[in-house]
Amino acid sequence: MNWDETTEDAATPQADRLVGASADHEDQAVEAALRPKDLGEFIGQERVREQLDLVLRAARVRGATADHVLLSGAPGLGKTTLSMIIAAEMGAPIRITSGPAIQHAGDLAAILSSLQEGEVLFLDEIHRMSRPAEEMLYMAMEDFRVDVIVGKGPGATAIPLELPPFTLVGATTRAGLLPPPLRDRFGFTAHMEFYGPPELERVIHRSASLLDVEIDTAGAAEIAGRARGTPRIANRLLRRVRDYAQVKADGQINRDIASVALGVYEVDGRGLDRLDRAVLEALLKLFSGGPVGLSTLAVAVGEERETVEEVAEPFLVREGLLARTPRGRVATPAAWAHLGLTAPQGRPGAGGQPDLFGA
């Protein structure tokens, strides 16, 4: 396997959060050992797995290179893992790079021209590639050919370069940002969903056995419930709970150990961390559940607007704890219940009272 560049963005505000979905340095070091190696080992995402299995089998039967594959979904759901599985199932080598690493068409030409026949090219964050590189990719995907431009201005000439057949696996967290001509050139598109608790429990049991950690069913369920639907977070929480179990107990993980350990790390029963709870608490206690503007809410929790909007809110919205309305942020009845607070009369969540705020 060849790494052209790290695929993770360590500079995101999420990077140092225990429940952040982007990979931190420790994740990068440990993930290689935890990655499922074939489709049979890959947990969950049944529909994607079944469809991909057909695509790959058919290509093998034809003795051909597999169609280009687009994987979309949030960070940490297994896109890199699946790309490696595609290469393994096809018995092909894999090259890994990312959109931000390809700023010039020449960068892409250099990678494409060095691919071997049948190789899998994994392009993470494909939506962040530069325009000229993107246009070069169209031709490469369709005709296995690129035009390399030599010289500048009126004297520039295009030298056609034949490429060996290869499989592009593009990954994106923002499928909607891909221009249709690029999207259309993928033979198979898979959308990866967040994982349910039973699947995350299986991920945790599998990782625990690879890490040689003893964990019982209730302990795995406790961690799964706080892992925000994301295997990467489940694996990270497992490692923190293992640390706690080794230092404070006999190394074995059960429900109590998992619950106390994650309490120490301030990850609550639903997977909210300190920032998430600070936003919710401000919304409920200072603004009676809203509506309140994003800037005001950000000042109240002492954070940047962007941090509240991009780091805390997506999960709170997904969990049905906060709603973004045209009049501002509004807490849902579930938010009051989660923090154990009672909504003032007449607010959503005040039990049997009318919803006067249209949230």
Per DSSP, helices labelled H in 77-211 are 79-89, 105-113, 131-143, 180-183, 197-210
Which segment (79-87, 285-293, 303-311, 322-330) binds ligand ATP by CB under 6 A?
79-87
> Which is closer to ligand ATP, CB of 33 or CB of 159?
33
Q: Which of 14, 80, 97, 167 is the binder for ligand ATP (CB under 6 A)?
A: 80
Q: Which residues are annotated as a binding site for ATP?
A: 34-35, 76, 79-81, 142-144, 185, 195, 232
Q: Considering the rule CB under 6 A, would residue 77 count as an interface residue with ligand ATP?
A: yes
Residue from the set 22, 65, 72, 97 that interacts with ligand ATP by CB under 6 A = 22
Tokens of 140: 């490469």
Candidate segments 55-63, 74-82, 126-134, 275-283, binder of ligand ATP by CB under 6 A: 74-82
Is residue 70 packed enough to be buried (19+ CB in 10 Å), middle (13-18) or exposed (0-12)? Answer: buried
Look at residue 147 and give its three-state secondary structure: strand
Binding pattern for the stretch 113-142 against ligand ATP, x by CB under 6 A and - elsewhere: -----------x------------------
Rounded to 5°, angle at Cα 193 from 209 and 174: 120
Q: Could you give the CA distance from residue 194 to residue 358 in angstroms, rounded to a whole number?
A: 29
Considering only the stretches 38-46, 52-60, 103-111, 182-190, report the one whose residues sit in contact with ligand ATP under the rule CB under 6 A.
38-46
Question: How many helical (H) and strand (E) elements, i.e. helices and strands, does the chain have?
Answer: 15, 10
Binding site residue list: 34-35, 76, 79-81, 142-144, 185, 195, 232, 305, 324, 329
Identify the helix (H) or strand (E) that includes residue 288. Answer: none
- Pick the binder of ligand ATP from 14, 65, 72, 81 (CB under 6 A): 81
What is the 3-state composition of the chain as percent helix, strand, coil, each rounded to the nearest 5? Answer: 45, 15, 40
Site size with ligand ATP, rule: CB under 6 A: 24
Span of 43-51, 143-151, 161-169, 241-249 interacting with ligand ATP by CB under 6 A: 43-51
Please tell me whether residue 357 binds ligand ATP under the rule CB under 6 A. Answer: no
Please return the burial class of 63, using the count of CB atoms within 10 Å of its CB with bins 0-12, 13-18 and 19+: exposed
Is 34 among the residues that bind ligand ATP (CB under 6 A)? yes
Count of residues in the chain? 359
Is 35 a binding residue for ligand ATP by CB under 6 A? The answer is yes
Counting contacts by CB under 6 A, is residue 31 touching ligand ATP? yes
Q: Does 232 bind ligand ATP (CB under 6 A)?
A: yes
Q: Judged by CB under 6 A, which of 85, 111, 203, 227 binds ligand ATP?
A: 203
What residues contact residue 204 under an 8 Å CB cut-off, 6+ apart? 215, 220, 223, 224, 227, 234, 235, 238
Angle (deg, nearest 10), helices 197-210 and 217-224: 120
Give the nearest distance from C-beta 80 to ligand ATP in angstroms: 3
Among 19, 23, 96, 253, binds ligand ATP (CB under 6 A): 23
What positions carry a catalytic annotation? Answer: 79-80, 124, 173, 232
Q: Report how far apart, in Å, the C-alpha atoms of 128 and of each of 15, 119, 169, 277 are.
A: 19, 22, 15, 32
User: Using an 8 Å Cβ cutoff, are 271 and 225 in contact?
Assistant: yes
In sequence order, what are the residues at sequence separation of 6 or more whose Cβ sits closer than 8 angstroms to the Cβ of residue 13?
306, 307, 310, 311
Contact pick of 78, 118, 170, 271 for ligand ATP (by CB under 6 A): 78
- By CB under 6 A, which span of 12-20, 40-48, 283-291, 336-344 interacts with ligand ATP? 40-48
CB of 123 to ligand ATP, least distance (A): 11
Does residue 72 bind ligand ATP (CB under 6 A)? no
Residue reference for tokens 């998992």: 258
Contact between 44 and ligand ATP (CB under 6 A)?
yes
End-to-end CA distance of the chain: 50
* Closest chain position to ligand ATP (CB): 78
The binding site for ligand ATP (CB under 6 A) comprises 7-8, 22-23, 31, 34-36, 42-45, 75-81, 124, 203, 231-232, 235
